[in-house]
Structure 1
């Protein structure tokens, strides 16, 4: 809790595959003053490291996450723009947020595979510099490992929103 402001910070999290609308919503939330947005793909592009460098991506993601926890402890609201595909990732983020005294807001994106691929194809064609290009095979591999959010996970957060087929 931020004693000076008398309020509890919020960690905003996302659960969704590439192309589901996470970045679009995260940018909207940041513009609305919901928190400081941390997006690994954008930071990686900003420092000039190719998206294909997966080891750097993982290292940067861990650094930004540690920074998110520092911000939460300081009473700053954070929007963490990761997909959190696996239940164990979500559980870890929930536990860490609670250890800082933060509230948790979760956005769950339920988007079908065809819609995801159509959006990713469009994004790949536009060659947006701060997003990682994704192949159809990579999307299908992600689809195969993705673990949908369970009811007990929803019960563990302070608030959640479901987005079906896009941003609604």
Structure 2
């Protein structure tokens, strides 16, 4: 799932998981109970790393999983796709986007209606999110071949292990 808060990622991820009877991993649903904080001083990266490892193990077992992370950078999306493909799984990227006023309103509504599943966001937070977010490129959406790993990395898996510090080197056999 790719998109900013309030774009509908979790709603669509829940629908996909229910329709396909598959595992859904959503960091926000774990962050609030574990840390009472959305960022939690880097703990989100730790949690996401373990979720990606779990997803890899699920895929290796022959089952399916949907990651509801947001994946704001193309490198994150390419790394996760590489991990899925090396586990023998198909990768499907879902990008959700809304007009900015509606997206912000939906994020606020989600906080009011279900504060246990999200975190309060100020206009400054939303502005920062917009500045950081990289929408998927046409190549990503068209599922073209993976580009080479970023400079200095021998593979996307190595890049992923740096990005998500608790993601161990995966058994890619």
TM-score using structure 1 length: 0.78
Larger proportion of strand:
1
Structure 1 residue 112: deviation in Å? 1.9
Q: 2:41 and 2:66 mapped to 1: Cα distance?
A: 22
Secondary structure of the structure 2 residue equivalent to 1:64 = helix
- The residue number in structure 2 matching 1:51 is 37
Aligned-residue CA RMSD (Å): 1.6
Cα distance in 2 for partners of 1:122, 1:26 equals 18
* Equivalent-residue separation in structure 1 for 2:15 and 2:139 (angstroms): 28
**1:18 and 2:10 correspond:** no
Residue 111 of structure 1 aligns to a residue in which SS? coil
Of Structure 1 and Structure 2, the greater helix share is in: 2
Distance, in Å, in 2 between the alignment partners of 1:141 and 1:34 is: 35
**CA displacement 1:64-119 (0-9 Å, x = unmatched):** 11110111111110010110111111111111111111101111112121111111
Unaligned runs of 5+ residues in structure 2 are 145-173
User: Which stretches of structure 1, 4 residues or longer, exceed 3 Å deviation after superposition?
Assistant: none
Q: Does 1:38 align with 2:60?
A: no
5+ long unaligned stretches in structure 1: 1-13, 158-168
Map 1:12-161; keep pairs closer than 5 Å. Answer: 14-46=1-33, 48-52=34-38, 53-156=40-143
